[in-house]
Structure 1
Amino acid sequence: MSKSKRLMELMIAVNKRKKFTVRELAEEFQVSTRTMMRDLQVLGELGLPLYTEYGPHGGYRVLNERLLPPIMFSEHEAVAMFFAYQSLQHYGALPFAEESITALNKFYYYLPDDTKEKIDKMKQRVVFWTPRRHTVNPYLRPLLDAALQQQMLNVVYDSKEGAKARRIQPIGVYSHNGYWYCPAYCCLKERILLFRVDRILQADPVEQAEAEVSRADLSQITIQDWFKPQPSEYRSDPSDGPLEIVVKLSTNGVRRCRWEAYFGDVLQEEPDGTGTLRLRISESEQDYYASYFLGFGAEAVVTEPPGIVERIREEVKRLTDAYRN
């Protein structure tokens, strides 16, 4: 086996292990311990973060910031990967902002010159645009980490009722229209609610012993479950029963609703281009959807439930009075 191939396979081998010794690796790769020591030294110089533990039970460990082995890409794959990274450039905040920038720079730096030229030309013709919001998201990464570790957080959330303390258990984070959102189980409401990340003013981990008392079992609930029309067992409050919104849509209203992935399974289109939207929500979401569909103007007319219809009428009257002066 050539030295370059051995080094590549060695990098893969040590990345898979929590701990190893020089003798173990030397026997596995059928080289002397002296040769294996030199190979490990080369990997260290290449950037693989090795940690040495001394003593009778000592050996080597790879730190968390591991160096991944090289991966071969075709030119088309390389261009696709670059634009996958480049699509993140318009986000004002990312849970891995610094890492995405360094990864993009590394990826571009090592491309052949003709591939770079091709990418530079495509950058003038292709862009993935996302509205840039002037918001601060200091707790975006902690929320994602808490979701990965099934950890509870004590947060201060700035809602329309003002800043209040909450204890939440995040499910995940997602971005929509330039904002970041976090569906999370709220211990106060005892159901899953949606929190806008830039409105979280403080977030601190809950002590393990204290968290065990109120932690919900969300291990089988993923961020994708949040977008399903039917709520999960934690999403509805028994005292806050589900309602069905019925909305009559013009052709322009149908086009707007097509943009929302959440409406995909509940939008019924007619041959003439008009449509009907039937959406199940909880009682507490009426204000939000009244305001949302009011923004459609005459392109969307809510016919059910009466509570939302009345809210929209009151808001229309308030707007009419405001513009009458």
Structure 2
Amino acid sequence: MSKSKRLIELMIAVNKRRKFTVRELAEEFSVSNRTIMRDLQALEELGLPLYAEYGPNGGYRLLNERLLPPIVFSEQEAVAIFFAYQSLQHYGSLPFDEEAVTALNKFYYYLPDDTKRTIDKMKQRVIFWSPKRKAPSPHLRLLLDASLQMRPVRVLYDSREGAKSRTIQPIGVYSQNGYWYCPAYCFHREKYLLFRVDRVLQAEQMEEGAKTVDVSGYPLQMWLLPQGQPVSAVYASDPERMPLIAELTTEGVRRCQWEGIFHDELQVNDDGTGTLRLHIKQDDFDYYTEYFLSMGADAVIREPQELREQLRQAAVKLFEAYHASKPSS
């Protein structure tokens, strides 16, 4: 076996074992202890973080910040991975901002020149766009780490009633329409709630020994689509939600279909018009007022009456603003 091939296989073996002795590796690769020692030194020079433990039960241990072994990709796989990373560039916040940039730069740097040319051409023809929101989410990584460690977090959350302190235990984070959301168990309300991450003004993990809840049987997918049910069916059973019914023109239907926000909730008639049936919380009124106001007469709210009235007041306010203003000469 050539030295280069042995080094690659040795790196793979070390990453799998995490703890080992020189004799174990020498026997596995059928080489001398001295050869393994030289190979381990070469891997350390490449950046593999090894820690030597002395004594009867000693050996080598791989530290947590380790390098992953090399993986061989086909050209098409390399292009697919590059654009998978690049698709994240339009997000305003990521839980791994710096890591995504450095990983993409490393990956591109070591590609063959002809593969780089293929990617450079494709960058002019393929863009994965998502709305970039201006609202920062500085505590996104902390909430993600807390969900992985299943530890509660004390947050200052800016809700409709104002900024309030509460303790939550995150289930995970997900992105939708340019915003990041964090479903979590709220110890104050004693139930699961959905939090918008950009509204988290302060966050800190609770100390060891703080009260926790078991969310291991509640993966993020269950929050989105519990037991495979459509979102509309799940929300309909939520006592805090009220039905929203909006009648849409053909243009209103096209817009809903194009934006891809609503699926099961949108019913299309034979003539192209449609009806949108949702279940929303009162906290969502401001969002839906802005959304349906932007659709103009292509969407008319029938229920709930409270949202109809809020939308009517917003329309009157908009009319008065334009009626009072004078066109510039």
TM range (shorter): 0.7 to 0.9
Q: Distance in 1 between matches of 2:251 and 2:217?
A: 38
> For residue 64 of structure 1, what is the aligned residue in structure 2?
64
Q: 8 Å contact 2:160–2:283 — kept in the other structure?
A: no
> For residue 272 of structure 1, what is the aligned residue in structure 2?
271
Q: 1:171 to 1:158 in 2, by over 3 A?
A: same
Q: 1:150 to 1:129 in 2, by over 3 A?
A: same
Instruction: Report deviation, 1:154.
Output: 0.1
Q: 8 Å contact 2:52–2:60 — kept in the other structure?
A: yes
Q: What are the residue-to-residue correspondences of 1:5-154 with 2, within 5 Å?
A: 5-154=5-154
Deviations 1:157-197 (A, max 9, x none): 22333221121111222233433222222222233333222
Amino acid at match of 2:159: S
Q: Distance in 2 between matches of 1:287 and 1:90?
A: 25
Amino acid at match of 2:263: G
Amino acid at match of 2:215: L
Aligned length, in residue pairs: 318
Q: 1:258 to 1:171 in 2, by over 3 A?
A: farther
Q: 1:133 to 1:79 in 2, by over 3 A?
A: same
Q: Which moved more, 1:100-109 or 1:289-298?
A: 289-298
Q: 8 Å contact 1:249–1:275 — kept in the other structure?
A: yes
Amino acid at match of 2:95: P
Q: Give the share of equivalent positions with the same residue, in percent.
A: 64
Instruction: Report deviation, 1:270.
Output: 1.7
Q: 1:262 to 1:149 in 2, by over 3 A?
A: farther
Q: 1:255 to 1:149 in 2, by over 3 A?
A: farther
3-state SS of the aligned residue for 1:108? helix
Q: Distance in 2 between matches of 1:180 and 1:46?
A: 37
Deviations 1:247-277 (A, max 9, x none): 2111222223224555212221122221122
| 1:226 aligns to 2:223 (yes or no) | yes
Instruction: Report deviation, 1:22.
Output: 1.5
| 1:157 aligns to 2:157 (yes or no) | yes
Instruction: Report deviation, 1:28.
Output: 2.4
Instruction: Report deviation, 1:205.
Output: 0.8
Q: Distance in 2 between matches of 1:191 and 1:99?
A: 34
Amino acid at match of 2:218: I
CA RMSD of aligned residues (A): 2.6
Q: Distance in 2 between matches of 1:242 and 1:91?
A: 30
Q: 1:102 to 1:287 in 2, by over 3 A?
A: closer
Q: 1:56 to 1:262 in 2, by over 3 A?
A: farther
Instruction: Report deviation, 1:303.
Output: 1.9
Q: What are the residue-to-residue correspondences of 1:226-245 with 2, within 5 Å?
A: 226-228=223-225, 229=231, 230-231=233-234, 236=238, 240-245=239-244
Q: 8 Å contact 2:152–2:210 — kept in the other structure?
A: no
> For residue 299 of structure 1, what is the aligned residue in structure 2?
298
Q: 8 Å contact 1:227–1:262 — kept in the other structure?
A: no
TM-score by length of 2: 0.86
Q: 8 Å contact 1:246–1:305 — kept in the other structure?
A: yes
Q: 8 Å contact 1:174–1:180 — kept in the other structure?
A: yes
Deviations 1:288-323 (A, max 9, x none): 434433332221222233343343344444544555
Instruction: Report deviation, 1:122.
Output: 2.0
> For residue 228 of structure 2, what is the aligned residue in structure 1?
none
Q: Which moved more, 1:145-154 or 1:185-194?
A: 185-194
3-state SS of the aligned residue for 1:188? coil
Q: Distance in 1 between matches of 2:134 and 2:305?
A: 37
Q: Distance in 1 between matches of 2:291 and 2:186?
A: 24
Q: 8 Å contact 1:185–1:192 — kept in the other structure?
A: yes
Q: 1:279 to 1:160 in 2, by over 3 A?
A: closer
| 1:211 aligns to 2:211 (yes or no) | yes
Q: 1:14 to 1:52 in 2, by over 3 A?
A: same
Q: Distance in 2 between matches of 1:187 and 1:40?
A: 50
Q: 1:210 to 1:249 in 2, by over 3 A?
A: same
Q: 1:40 to 1:172 in 2, by over 3 A?
A: same
